[in-house]
Structure 1
Amino acid sequence: MNTHFSLSQLFSPRSIAVVGASATPGKIGAMPISLLRRYEYDGRIIPVNPRVADVQGLPAIAGLDALDEAVDLVILAVPAAHAAAALERACPGQIGAAVVFTSGFSEIGPEGQALQAQLCAVAKARGIRLLGPNCLGFMNIRSRVYATFTPAASGEAIKAGGIGMVTQSGAFGAYAFCMARDRGLGLSHWISTGNEADIDVADCIAYLAHDEDTRVVMAYMEGCRDGDKLRLALAAARDAGKPVVVTKIGRTQAGAQAAASHTAALAGDDAVYDALFRQYGAVRARSIEEFFNLGYAFDTWKQPPQGRRLGILTISGGVGALMADEASDAGLTLPSPTAAVQQRLLERMPFGSPRNPIDVTGQAVSEPGLLLSAAEDVLADGIYDAMAVFLAAAGSSEALWPTFETFARTMQARHPKVPLAISALFPPARRRELEALGCLVFADPSAAVKTLAAVVRPSENASAGPAIPATPSQPLRASYNEVQAMEALALAGIAVSPCVVVQDAEGAVAAAGSYSGPVVLKIVSPDILHKSDIGGVRLNVIGDAEVSAAYDAIVDAVSRQRPDAAQDGVLVSPMAPRGVECIIGVHRDPIFGPIVMFGLGGIFVEVLKDVSFRLAPFGRAEALAMIAETKGYAILSGARGSAPADIDALADALVALSIFASQHRGELESVEVNPLVVLARGKGVIALDAVITTATAG
């Protein structure tokens, strides 16, 4: 089903019936009619109330069975116990969509869940899409559709604009609406999804991705029930070139529990959501201020920064240093202007600093044109992706306004691909004029830098997309020992260490003799995951006598410590060459399916938690990104003069694992390859141990 067209009757209705319509101010059945009339909605409004002949001057009908024609949208403002019956009175095919304001459904427990199921059954039988229940409804600002009862809409009118806002929480949504209005942001849509009995946040993101009036999507999420749908929605927005800013609560265990109790939504594993947003180019906001700063930036700038090179112009050296610190913390780089540019800057401002941050001092305030000429000089060489300017309290000076206006207008005209953020105390009217020119304006210089850094990320990931998995070579076994797991991964395209499984000491000696150099011996058992903990591993074994003794020691240790474990033999394999030990793995998330993990291997991986995740499947660019975002990347890149590791081969292994996981998503529970040794650049990788657990195992 095409989400955009299936929801067009809901979000752009030409006729609206209000069940539970009222003329009494303050009642939820009164508010939508009042708002629709106040904002001059030009479609048909049909009050539904069996006790009165008209509502707010409009003729009323007793029930939906009295409709004389099809209606695009029905608003249900009746108690939960009566909602299904009210909707059931409509003829099949007569209503396109319904918004259900009322609470008392799944969010209150089993009784409410039964009422919600009944409501959904009636809607499905009649082909009606449902928004809610337990929601504040929605607004289509440009079409003047106010299908809501939030008091926030009854205040000062919000301007129409390019931001589509969708939220699972009605209370947050009302707050966000007021914040957007106070900050001068223009909205295309405002949508509250409530219990999401049918239409959820993903549906709304997908709709907004195709909506020609929407440039930016701002979403507030508490959980997700359909991971594939959310992935497709974010991909649609990415492919349409529309940034998505997300505030996802439930980042901590306490937060996740609060979210679940609030809306009966699954908060899920927060690391998975982080991976999802990174992978599909959505930007996650960690605070309300950041949420609005990011939405503001994407809506104001015609094009976000295309790289991480920032130029800073400041009239205060101290604040310039503060901004430089913020830039470094946020992962931005501060390249210095060329020597020739620095020389020209010093000739015009001998008391300034020509490096980056570039301190133009108070001279830029007293000498009109200096700020612009300095910026032009700095940008002439094309080494900056964005510019941040600090003007302190000078922005409040009306006498200096012509200087700043000329600066902003000229910069936007001559350097449209270099986003400009100005930090100063401008009066609201002047701030809006600069924003109309395409400049961001912040009172806080730190917020300016952090926002610049955050909005780079979508353009870095804009072309990222999942790989298409090939047909699986064979179905999974019910259970795997280590050797079988290594064979399966080898078929999937991951290089594994050669090995032989033997059943006695003589076989171990013969196997070791086929390799040059020392060998490793390990117990092979599907029941033993941590072999070294029980003496099931011997390393660097050399010579027939040592090999024979090592075999006997392993069998004896396992028989004593794990007499219940099945023993499939002892593995003999050559000791691997030296390299960087990493761990790659898969676990099945109940919402999003197989999730691939990467980190440095060893005993501290669970303690340090220096790992990254992606949803399977994905391509090479995404694999390289997940490697680079770990602290261990410095070691792989060649820290302290050591040779760089084969990062390309590591990325290929991650891609292969992601495809393997995606191919077997219905039957695979987990995979762990630890260690995966990453050899020197050009030498590849080798998996030394692997565990595969299927969903049917045990």
Structure 2
Amino acid sequence: MTTDSASLQTLFSPASIAVVGASNTLGKVGATPIQLLKQYGYPGRILPVNPKEHEVQGLACHATLGHIEQDIDLAILALPARHVCEALEQARPGQIRSAVLLSSGFAETGPEGRAAQARLERLAGERGIRLLGPNCLGFMNMRERVYATFSPAPLKGAAPLGHVGMVSQSGAFGAYAYTMAKQRGLGLSFWASTGNESDVTVADCIEWLVADPATRIIMAYMEGCKNGEKLKRALDAAARAGKPVVVTKIGRTASGARAAASHTAALAGDDAIYDALFRQYGAIRARSIEDFFNIGHALSVWGRRPPQASVGIVSISGGVGALMADEADDGKLALPALPPEARRKLLDRTAFASADNPVDVTGQAVADPAVLQETIVGMLDTGRYGALAVFLAAAGSTDALWPHICELADAARRHPDARPLALCALLPDEKRAELERRGAMVFSDPSAAIRTIAAARPRIQASPQAPQAAAVELPAGAGALDEAQSMQVLARAGVPVVNSKVAHSSAEAAKLAEQAGCALAMKILSADIPHKSDAGGVRLDVSGAGDAAQAYDAILESVGRHAPGARIDGVLLAPMIKDGTECIMGVHVDSVFGPVVMFGLGGIFVEVLKDVSFRLAPFDVAQARSMIEETRALALLEGARGQPRADIDAIAQALCALSQFAHAARDRLASVDVNPFVALPAGRGAMALDALVVLKA
């Protein structure tokens, strides 16, 4: 079956539509699509199919798909699950190009349903039919007036036409989202529900919307993903096209993941990996339905994203201004101060104002509305602010202030350095809609305004040509490599490792210690013992030949007692590294998304605080730095409490190299654990002190 998004054109923009199971009884699943297509003036041919009817809603009805003479771009199947395959088989091979399967009773119901869905997929594959569903609510292409859905939501009026494409795995959430869009005045270009995703997925819809000139913003609700590469490709295409993707992904907790799996047969996956995916490819993840709509709506109203991660706050209340500043700090938005000239102008006009950021113009702005406009324009003139947020409270609804608020919105929109403007005010719906037509997003909650600006801020995206390394030669076989082999593999991959030697006797250990001339760490070398300390297989601060020989014997004696069946390949000796910051990095190979790289602080921090970040391999140094900056480890690495700054550049280079290796070796690699990875003071580099590489067969 064709899988490229171009093949979806006949599905989402069909010239002819057959409705199988068509009905004259309004309210039935087979009646609603025809009713909507007629109501909104679909320009193509509507072909009802029902062997029991001669006419449906004033249109000539056909007994089966095969009784229709011409080819059909889209067939909408409104039948019980047991009749779906039979209905498609009655069509001539090649007659149907695509189908929307509204029926439930497939993979979401259990083994029998999965078998029925597999049969359906085979039939569609043999005939080259693209499938949306089953167990879905269908789709609406508003600009083409295609309403291939049985949702009653559009029957009482459509959402306004706009530039937002919306796609949801869940039909119920999709219908709710459509109704919310209609209530809020959010203009839609396209809406779809993908259901069980036997063929067409959320990722397919995103990729199609990227190519759709009528769509500028994409909103997606996801429960899981079966094809990680397809989703990465779709998000990458959206990022390159400059089309923001706002996504809500459920299943962030174990209970949420179980609920998702039982709902539409989705694979919920590991939420940390999804979070990394969205960060890496520039998608905006919304953690609540309110934020989902606020972000999508705001991007639609603004028509742009903040060019930098900073905000200027103007308030008629000092307390609310402080609340907004706290929210900005939580959202990692800078609050640049007003330059001296702008401060002077404001204080000359309003002596009691606070000319910091937040700017408190006090209640004087109600008596002298021009102060608001002058302050906002003055802040825009500085170019320091990625967006502006203005708190007006109930004053925004007064008739005296209303014309000035409109002028403020117009002035901000027309400014040569126009930035997103968020107005926080209690306004009736008609006034809110008027301001949003003028390009200013209106919020009743000032905290929500700042959260939305923070979510829309610029992000580091995956580079169009992610760096890739040549494959590293790996040992034959499967399972864990010993530490020496693991370190050799990483060294060949470009990850710096500590210089180490292997001793096979106490005498050899003594000789190596004497040659080293420094304090050593000595560790048992065995692929069968991943946790060396638990078996007494580690000795630290070993100095001199005598101590090394004794340590060698002690290690073997202890390991022999704790792990009598373990294979022993010797004892590893390496210089003690004491003046660095311990980190951890590793690779997990996910069944959907492939290799995923992890970074965090080592030691107790990773176990107790779980302060780690993730990225999908491969990635560049810029993404590696953003990984480091996401963790609380950054404060320690930058030199907290008088400690020297760690070599963050060296960490980023090592993460980048690890990601390239993981991607190149993805067919053989099961996991990598580098712990500790020590970052030395700035300029002195970083290195792995221990590593475990596990291979697949």
TM-score tier, shorter chain, comes to over 0.9
Shift of the alpha carbon at 1:309? 1.8
Mapped to 2, the partners of 1:578 and 1:87 lie a distance apart of: 70
Provide Cα deviations, 1:157-214, integer angstroms capped at 9, x if missing partner.
Answer: 2111111100010011100000010000011111000110111111111111111011
Partner secondary structure for residue 305 of structure 1: coil
Moved more, 338-347 or 561-570: 338-347
Mapped to 2, the partners of 1:422 and 1:276 lie a distance apart of: 32
Note the 1:243-262 alignment, pairs <5 A: 243-262=244-263
Contact preservation (8 Å) 2:377, 2:411: no
Partner of 1:38: 39
Letter aligned with residue 236 of structure 1 = A
Partner of 2:323: 322
Shift of the alpha carbon at 1:534? 1.6
Provide Cα deviations, 1:582-619, integer angstroms capped at 9, x if missing partner.
Answer: 11100111111111000011134122100000011111
Moved more, 266-275 or 497-506: 497-506
Shift of the alpha carbon at 1:122? 1.5
Provide Cα deviations, 1:617-669, integer angstroms capped at 9, x if missing partner.
Answer: 11111000001000011111111222111111101100111111111111111
Shift of the alpha carbon at 1:66? 1.0
Moved more, 194-203 or 423-432: 423-432
Partner of 2:347: 346
Mapped to 1, the partners of 2:515 and 2:315 lie a distance apart of: 70
Contact preservation (8 Å) 2:462, 2:623: no
Shift of the alpha carbon at 1:86? 0.3
Shift of the alpha carbon at 1:415? 4.5
Provide Cα deviations, 1:439-461, integer angstroms capped at 9, x if missing partner.
Answer: 111111111111011110xx322
Provide Cα deviations, 1:532-553, integer angstroms capped at 9, x if missing partner.
Answer: 1221011111122211111110
Shift of the alpha carbon at 1:87? 0.5
Contact preservation (8 Å) 2:472, 2:661: no
Mapped to 2, the partners of 1:221 and 1:340 lie a distance apart of: 49
Provide Cα deviations, 1:93-144, integer angstroms capped at 9, x if missing partner.
Answer: 2111000001111111111112111211211111100000011100001111
* RMSD over equivalenced CA pairs, Å: 1.2
Provide Cα deviations, 1:483-511, integer angstroms capped at 9, x if missing partner.
Answer: 01100000000111111111111100111
Partner of 1:543: 544
Partner of 2:62: 61
Contact preservation (8 Å) 2:461, 2:623: no
Letter aligned with residue 130 of structure 1 = L
Contact preservation (8 Å) 1:424, 1:443: yes
Partner of 2:460: 461
Partner of 1:107: 108
Shift of the alpha carbon at 1:341? 2.2
Partner of 2:650: 649
Is 1:77 the equivalent of 2:74? no
Contact preservation (8 Å) 1:280, 1:465: no
Partner of 1:669: 670
Question: Quick one: structure 1 residues 599 and 477, their matched pair in 2 at CA, closer, same or farther if it must change by over 3 Å?
Answer: farther
Shift of the alpha carbon at 1:417? 3.4
Letter aligned with residue 11 of structure 1 = F
Note the 1:146-157 alignment, pairs <5 A: 146-157=147-158
Partner of 2:442: 441
Contact preservation (8 Å) 1:466, 1:618: no
TM-score (structure 1 length as normaliser): 0.98
Mapped to 2, the partners of 1:632 and 1:604 lie a distance apart of: 9
Mapped to 1, the partners of 2:636 and 2:416 lie a distance apart of: 39
Mapped to 2, the partners of 1:381 and 1:105 lie a distance apart of: 59
Mapped to 1, the partners of 2:640 and 2:694 lie a distance apart of: 35
Shift of the alpha carbon at 1:316? 1.2
Partner secondary structure for residue 638 of structure 2: helix
Mapped to 1, the partners of 2:313 and 2:519 lie a distance apart of: 58
Mapped to 2, the partners of 1:540 and 1:516 lie a distance apart of: 12
Partner of 2:201: 200
Is 1:518 the equivalent of 2:519? yes
Partner of 2:472: 473
Shift of the alpha carbon at 1:263? 1.4
Partner of 1:185: 186
Question: Quick one: structure 1 residues 358 and 296, their matched pair in 2 at CA, closer, same or farther if it must change by over 3 Å?
Answer: same
Letter aligned with residue 633 of structure 2 = G
Contact preservation (8 Å) 2:597, 2:615: yes
Question: Quick one: structure 1 residues 556 and 466, their matched pair in 2 at CA, closer, same or farther if it must change by over 3 Å?
Answer: farther
Partner of 1:385: 386
Mapped to 1, the partners of 2:78 and 2:270 lie a distance apart of: 35
Mapped to 2, the partners of 1:197 and 1:525 lie a distance apart of: 46
Mapped to 2, the partners of 1:681 and 1:443 lie a distance apart of: 47
Is 1:682 the equivalent of 2:683? yes
Letter aligned with residue 33 of structure 2 = P
Contact preservation (8 Å) 1:512, 1:573: no
Contact preservation (8 Å) 2:174, 2:193: yes
Partner of 2:488: 487
Note the 1:343-382 alignment, pairs <5 A: 343-382=344-383
Provide Cα deviations, 1:44-72, integer angstroms capped at 9, x if missing partner.
Answer: 00000111111010001110111111110
Contact preservation (8 Å) 2:472, 2:665: no
Provide Cα deviations, 1:328-356, integer angstroms capped at 9, x if missing partner.
Answer: 12211212112332222111001111111
Partner secondary structure for residue 380 of structure 1: helix
Contact preservation (8 Å) 1:486, 1:690: yes
**Aligned sequence identity (%):** 56
Partner secondary structure for residue 549 of structure 2: helix
Mapped to 1, the partners of 2:13 and 2:52 lie a distance apart of: 29
Letter aligned with residue 459 of structure 2 = E
Contact preservation (8 Å) 2:168, 2:202: yes
Partner of 1:412: 413
Partner of 2:49: 48
Shift of the alpha carbon at 1:423? 0.6
Provide Cα deviations, 1:292-341, integer angstroms capped at 9, x if missing partner.
Answer: 00101111112111112211111111111111111112211212112332
Shift of the alpha carbon at 1:394? 1.6
Partner secondary structure for residue 383 of structure 2: coil
Mapped to 2, the partners of 1:494 and 1:477 lie a distance apart of: 21
Q: Structure 1, unaligned stretches of length 5 or more?
A: none
Is 1:612 the equivalent of 2:616? no
Letter aligned with residue 360 of structure 2 = D
Partner of 1:621: 622
Note the 1:259-338 alignment, pairs <5 A: 259-338=260-339
Is 1:400 the equivalent of 2:428? no
Mapped to 1, the partners of 2:361 and 2:608 lie a distance apart of: 47
Shift of the alpha carbon at 1:372? 0.9
Contact preservation (8 Å) 1:49, 1:60: yes
TM-score (structure 2 length as normaliser): 0.98
User: Which contiguous aligned blocks of 4+ residues in structure 1 show a shift greater than 3 angstroms?
Assistant: 462-466
The count of residues paired between Structure 1 and Structure 2 equals 694
Partner secondary structure for residue 7 of structure 1: helix
Shift of the alpha carbon at 1:43? 0.4
Partner secondary structure for residue 552 of structure 1: helix
Note the 1:90-169 alignment, pairs <5 A: 90-169=91-170
